[in-house]
Amino acid sequence: MEEKKIKKFSILLFLLAILVILGGCTESNDKKASSEDNGVSINETGFPIVDEKITISMLGKKTPSQPEWKDMSSFIAYEEMTNIHIDWTTPPSNGFGEKFNLLLAGDGYPEAFFAADISQSDQIKYGSEGILIPLEDLIENYAPNFKKLMDEHPEIRQSITAPDGHIYALPHYRDVPRDLTGYKMWINKKWIEEAGLDMPKTVDELYTVLKAFKERNSDIIPMGSAGFNDIKRALLGAFGYLGDNHLNIVDDEVVFVPATDGYKEFLQFMNTLYKEGLLDEEAFLQDREQLKAKGQNMRLGMFTDNGAFLIVPEEESWDYVVLPPLTSSVNNQQMWPAITGVVHGAFAITDKNKHPEASMRYVDYFYSDEGGTFLSNPGGVEGVDWEWTDETKSKFKEIVAEGKTNSEMNNERTPASGSRPPYYRSKEWVHKEDSPLNNHIDNEVMEKLSEHFKISFPDIYFTSDQNTELNALKTDIESYVEQMQANFVVGKASFDEWSDYIDTLNKMGLDRLVKINQEAYDIWNEN
């Protein structure tokens, strides 16, 4: 009880401080709202958002390790600032999609969805039915931070605008380079130097390095993988295509990558590595925990993950650096797959909402630089969850209670520890984190990868009919591609059978799959 009192007192002190600091935002009472939201006056700027306390029901997707969201320090503090109480419903993330659709099929859905990962197809479906309301006018009048973000990053507006011209959900958005890359390829720089070699720039040079790793110790696995697609994502770019998606856009044309000559060249290269014992023989069978077990015994020369320390012992992880994008005899352009940073369906308002203007103002703060720290991970409330480490405010560190881990504390602070809330996670904030391991990742990504980022296929909307047909086509086609990918690499299928492989894809409806995607892309490209 005493600890809770101290924590609450700290939060109150923080609130008093922020109201003074944000004087320019609150502007006394000069800018009290000229609008009414179902009889409740909405303040145009600053805090509180409303003078008369209101309650808004929201539903979000909670992970098993998170406490009730009403008990999170960021939401406790924000309620005091805004004068808006959120009546949270947080079903578990497991089976959430089914729960979501059952709610909207009946009458028990909330006034808003928060960190709900509403799919693009569901946005169209429930938007056209009037359950999810259009947000464009609310953004224009009550979301200056999000509007500014869209103006600075036009890809956001393009990504979240449905084919009918409406915006039905706000996104989770981040521009942190390490977040935009997914898994990175880590390679042991110390072993390369001890072999008298340079960091590889081409696939041929990589082959030489992997051979040196194998000669170093017969127990070493030169290239480790969990499922193989992590390797494809990292290396297919050397052969002219991005490996994070079966579909690429080349000169505004949709290309199905597994049917290209570049993809065949990639598979032939991987087949060579497999035959010579340079690729883990369990690459297609093992999961990440099994890969990590090998890494903990320092058997891996290279592998993929967010950080090397997640696979190999932390003290050894400093010898691993990011492998730069490679080139090959068929492609001399360095490229690395990246995402736009737009994660769909983070916040939506339903037709039941009695205070849509206040709801929009409530969420808009999280798209500002300072508001984003509230829900960021790490983040939360200054002085309670984190603190500056120097007077220049160039670095911050998390405040971790005795006996607890960083992960446990993050769960108590914000839903971002396992969910994707509506907010802007900025690189300026994240790069101030006083975390040597994460800072190492940041530096490696910015030095080796960020200038070569490329989007394989944009976030586009499909109609319900298109989705139905695509899902039917993709089930068989993608399953066959995965099967043959493994067969070609391990030698169960000969490359003399390549034309038969292509013929089978065509019989499965590959042309139709490409055509549907091309039609949807053309509409998206016009927005």
Q: What is the pLDDT of residues 379-408, one digit of tens each?
A: 788 888 889 998 899 999 888 888 888 778
CA angle 271, 276, 282 (to 5 degrees): 70
Q: pTM of the full predicted structure? A: 0.84
Beta-carbon contacts of residue 434 (< 8 Å; ≥ 6 apart): 389, 395, 396, 397
* Phi, psi (rounded to 5 degrees) for 378: -80, 160
Q: Rounded CA gap, 420 and 47, in Å?
A: 25
Where residue 435 falls among pLDDT bands split at 50, 70, 90?
confident
Q: How far is CA 344 from CA 112, 155, 158, 377, in A?
A: 15, 13, 12, 19
Q: Are 177 and 431 in contact (CB under 8 A)?
A: no
Q: How far is CA 351 from CA 40, 85, 275, 348, 354, in A?
A: 18, 19, 60, 10, 8
DSSP 331: B
Name the residue type at position 430.
V
Mean pLDDT of the region 482-499:
97
C-beta neighbour count of 255 within 10 angstroms: 20
Question: Is 2-25+55-177+342-430 in CATH node 3.40.190.10?
Answer: yes
- pLDDT score at 248: 97
**Which helix or strand (DSSP H or E) is residue 236 part of?**
none
Q: What is the pLDDT of residues 321-352, one digit of tens each?
A: 999 999 999 999 999 999 989 999 999 999 99
CA proximity to 486, closest of 238, 283, 265, 221: 283
- pLDDT score at 36: 60
- pLDDT score at 381: 84
- pLDDT score at 88: 96
The answer to whether the 2-25+55-177+342-430 and 183-338+437-455 domains have the same CATH topology is yes
**Secondary-structure breakdown of the chain: helix, strand, coil percentages, each rounded to the nearest 5:** 50, 15, 35
Q: What is the pLDDT of residues 143-162, one digit of tens each?
A: 999 999 999 999 899 999 99
Question: Does 35 score more than 70 pLDDT?
Answer: no
3-state SS, residue 52: coil
Question: Does 28 score more than 70 pLDDT?
Answer: no
Q: What is the pLDDT of residues 36-63, one digit of tens each?
A: 666 788 998 899 999 999 999 999 998 8
- pLDDT score at 289: 96
* Phi, psi (rounded to 5 degrees) for 156: -65, -50
What distance lies between CA 303 and its chain's CA centroid?
A: 20
Q: Rounded CA gap, 383 and 381, in Å?
A: 6
Question: Is 183-338+437-455 in CATH node 3.40.50.300?
Answer: no
Beta-carbon contacts of residue 268 (< 8 Å; ≥ 6 apart): 488, 495
**Chain position carrying tokens 């530096």:** 443
**Domain spans in the chain, listed from the N-terminal domain onward:** 2-25+55-177+342-430, 183-338+437-455
Name the residue type at position 400.
V
Q: At what angle do helices 464-490 and 261-275 cross, to 10 degrees?
A: 40
Q: For the chain, what is the mean pLDDT?
A: 90
3-state SS, residue 502: helix
Q: Dihedral of the CA atoms 79, 83, 89, 93 (nearest 10)? A: -40
Cross-strand bridge partners of residue 302: 187, 223
